[in-house]
Each structure stands twice: as structure tokens, then as C-alpha cells.
Amino acid sequence: MKTDKTKDIIQKREMVWTCHTPRLIEEIVNCAIPRNMGILFQPLNIFKNYLAAIADRAAQINDPILNDIMCKMVLYEEADPYSKEYNPEKLRKVEDLARKERSKSNENSDR
């Protein structure tokens, strides 16, 4: 039986999902597409290039919530655990800033 404290902890936690987008695309291209479906290779590479351009622009805009999304999609090198630039400390800072910005937005929308 769960205690009230356990229920509070469960209610306060939020599910956080990440998607290593570059590896997902690579996996689709290299493994999931049958060899006779090579026609999808080029569109997926174009899509990958668009995502890189979006990540560059998001970094220029420097919006906390957008940065958090980019990190969850692993479109920033600092969010890529396979990169030498991986920085979990910076990742936590981005998540904290986004959380604060979201709560600020929620407060403003309640008014």
C-alpha cells in the first residue's frame, strides 16, 4: 500500500522522454529500410539537414523552452551522451530554466 508521501512524490514527478534524433534517423537509414527502399535515403538526409538548421536557429534565439526541446531531441551536441562535448550539468541547467519559464507562462495564463 502506498503512503500519502509516496503518492505526493509520484504526482510531482513528470515523465521526461528524450529521442536521440540523429541516431534514430541513422538507424532508419541503415537498418530499418529494406535495401530496395533506398529511395528514402535522400529525403531522410534532407530532413536531418533541416533539423540541424532548426537546432542552429534555436541556439541563436536562446529560448529556454526551445533549448530544452532541442536537448530532449539531442540536437545540441552538449545533450548527446555519445559526444565528447556532452555536459550533463549544462543539461540540468537548461531543464531548470525551461521548468521556470513554463511555470512563469502558466502563471501568466492563469491571470
pLDDT tens per residue, range 42-56: 888 899 999 999 999
Q: Are 21 and 44 in contact (CB under 8 A)?
A: no
Q: Are 98 and 104 in contact (CB under 8 A)?
A: no
> What's the CA gap between 3 and 72, in Å, rounded?
32
Neighbouring CB atoms inside 10 A of 98's CB total 19
> What's the CA gap between 64 and 102, in Å, rounded?
9
> What's the CA gap between 64 and 23, in Å, rounded?
24
Under the banding of pLDDT at 50, 70 and 90, the label for residue 14 is low
- Total-model pTM: 0.74
> What's the CA gap between 15 and 82, in Å, rounded?
23
What pLDDT is attached to residue 45?
87
Lowest mean pLDDT among 11-15, 62-66, 85-89, 90-94: 11-15
What pLDDT is attached to residue 30?
78
pLDDT tens per residue, range 91-102: 999 999 999 999
What the block records as the C-alpha cell of 61 is 534565439
What pLDDT is attached to residue 32?
66
